[in-house]
Amino acid sequence: MKHKNKLSIKWKFFTYLMLFTMIILIMLWLSQVVFLETIYKSIKINEIKTSAKNIAKHIDDENIKEYADMIGEQNELCIIALKMENINRGLELVSVDKLNNCLLHNTDRRSKFFLYDLAVANDGEYIQNYRYDQMRLGFIESDGQQSGEFESIIYTLVFQNNIDEEIFLMVNSVISPVAATVRTLYYQLIVISISVIILAVILTIFFSNRISKPIRKINDSAKILATGSYNVDFKASGYKEVSELAETLNYAADELSKTDQMKTDLIANISHDLRTPLTMIVGYSELMRDIPGENIPENIQTIIDEAKRLTSLVNDVLDISKLQSGVGDFISKPVNITETIKKALLRYNKLTEQDGYTIDFEYAYDVTVNTDETRIMQALYNLINNAVTYTGADKRVTVAQTVKNGCVRISVTDTGEGIEADKLPLIWERYYKVDKIHKRASIGSGLGLSIVKSIMDMAGGNCGVESKIGWGSTFWIELPLRK
Ligand code: ADP
């Protein structure tokens, strides 16, 4: 567990919030202080061009004079439009004067025609910049690059009207210096920046506390859980994710405590189960050693039976740990499952012959599936063993193979006491045994069904149970048919 290079949530939050604040502030500074003049100029020039183009569009209208007047008023422009009769004579169509220092109405005819020539030479469109000269108390031509001064712009457009007459349009506008505005904004932004940074710090402290406090609380409880006390209660409020986490952890703690309880029970059972056969084996062996005439096959059989019981108990424990740790391989091959069931049932021959059990097998035809035969056989044994153990006095067990919806279902039915409905979901859990009171007859480990479930999960199949108190139970497994 390395936490050294990790920032706490508080600092993370602070960093992100600061980053966000900085980006916004930088954007504000750039747009309001650094580039304000450039942005303002380009907006203004755009405005002039749009106005000129709108007038050009309406040049043939009857009320073009009023229209130009309105545009000039709105955008503080001076506008003159001439219908060109020859290279240096024009008839005035429009004349609007809405500027204090209009250049158009103060220039002579020659300068106007000079502008006309420039526009024609530049594909019919030209912009001329002027700046205010303090010495001459008037505007002089400029390249438009200087800043902080009064500037005047004349935009000229030469175009054809609907009846192919040439029109020369001039629009003049003044750009006032923004230096004073920039200075005001500069001081405003300093105040805003400082306040925003302070606000970000306060917000960080407030929110990071609200976010991290429940997590810290859960972490403390989890540490208690880690020491093995499963009765911790994960409590967390505040927001959804954290209460979900608390809920999940409560569930996990609950499950852990259940498993722990079951393991304790199992160890108690297993030690009992181990001790009983061992006592029997030792007892019978000593009997046979010490008393002549006791060396009879029945006694030896008892020793063998008890030893087998031990083996199967140990095997169950090994199987489940192998299956659940995923160590065991599952090798799928085409398998005639009907033959597999028959093979499995052969193992119960002795049981049926000697102890009077009847095991029927019902099926219609042979079925092939893709699966691991050994594993399926293991699942079948577990189900049949349970059925034999729990079946009723008639000692009858029925195995049936049915085919439905592209699946083969193998069910094992007994005539025993059945299982209570509320216990049904629990019996598939590891170490679970319905009967806590130890019965000699049912010397199970509580692992059989969870082995079945693990195998069916690996096989991509299903398993389940139906049971009726007093009538018996039907356990089934299902596998998809081979395509
Ligand atoms: P066990 O090894 O104890 O049989 P299982 O996992 O196979 O463990 O079964 C869990 C519990 O389910 C058993 O202890 C038993 O109480 C119940 N059970 C399993 N099969 C049957 C059955 N055919 N009839 C009644 N109860 C059953």
User: Using one digit for the tens of pLDDT, what is the confidence trace for 93-120?
Assistant: 899 998 877 888 888 888 888 899 999 9
Quick one: pLDDT band at residue 182, thresholds 50, 70, 90? confident
Q: pLDDT: is 435 or 101 the higher one?
A: 101
The tokens describing 108, both together, are: 């002579």
| Ligand 1 proximal residues by C-beta, below 6 Å | 382, 386-387, 390, 414, 416, 419, 427, 432-435, 444-450, 473
Residue 39, exposed/middle/buried by CB under 10 A (0-12, 13-18, 19+)?
Answer: middle
pLDDT value at position 126?
93
**What is the mean predicted confidence (pLDDT) over 64-82?**
93
Distance 419 CA to ligand 1 centre (A): 9
Q: Which helix (H) or strand (E) holds 170?
A: strand 166-175
- Span 185-218, pLDDT tens digits: 889 989 998 998 898 889 888 888 888 888 888 9
| pLDDT exceeds cutoff 50 at 439 | no
pLDDT score recorded for residue 325: 66
How large is the average pLDDT for residues 391-408?
Answer: 94
Ligand 1 atom with minimal separation from the 433 CA: 14
For ligand 1, the distance from its centroid to the CA atom of residue 297, given in whole angstroms, is 32
Residue nearest to atom 24 of ligand 1 (CA): 390
Average pLDDT over residues 30-42: 86
C-alpha 304, offset from chain centre: 58
Share of the chain above pLDDT 70, in %: 94
pLDDT interval class at 438 (50, 70, 90): very low
Question: Band of the pLDDT at 150, cuts 50, 70, 90?
Answer: confident
- The pLDDT assigned to 391 comes to 92
Is the pLDDT confidence value at 49 over 90? Answer: yes
Strand, helix or coil for residue 261: helix
Residues 245-304: tens digit of each pLDDT: 999 999 999 988 888 887 787 777 677 777 878 898 999 999 999 998 988 999 999 899
- Ligand 1, atom 12: closest residue by C-alpha: 427
Atom of ligand 1 nearest to the CA of 444: 2
Distance from the alpha carbon of residue 307 to the mean position of ligand 1, in angstroms: 22
CA dihedral of residues 447, 448, 453, 455 (deg, nearest 10): 110
Identity of the residue numbered 440: R
Q: Tell me which of 427, 445, 450 to substitute to probe ligand 1's pocket, judged by most ligand atoms within 8 Å of the beta carbon.
A: 427
Range name among 314-323, 436-445, 460-469 with the lowest pLDDT average: 436-445
Rounded to the nearest whole angstrom, what is the distance from the C-alpha of residue 442 to the centroid of ligand 1?
8
Q: In angstroms, what is the span from residue 428 Cα to ligand 1's centroid?
A: 9
pLDDT of res. 441: 44
Whether this prediction's pTM lies above 0.75 is answered by no
- The pLDDT of residue 440 is 40
Atom of ligand 1 nearest to the CA of 390: 24
Relative to the CA of 434, which ligand 1 atom is closest?
16
CA of 258 to the centre of ligand 1 (A): 18
User: Where do we find the tokens 């609907």?
Assistant: 162
Q: Give the mean pLDDT of the chain.
A: 87
pLDDT at 321 over 80: no
pLDDT band at 328; cut points 50, 70, 90: low
pLDDT of 1 above 70: no
Range scoring the smallest mean pLDDT among 117-126, 155-164, 304-313, 319-328: 319-328
> Ligand 1 centre from 21 Cα, in Å?
65
The per-residue pLDDT for 393 is: 92
The residue assigned the tokens 């422009």 is 77
CA atoms within 13 A on the CB side of 257: 12
- What pLDDT score does 231 carry? 86
Angstrom distance (rounded) from CA 178 to CA 174: 12
pLDDT over threshold 70, residue 369: yes
For residues 442-449, give the mean pLDDT: 70
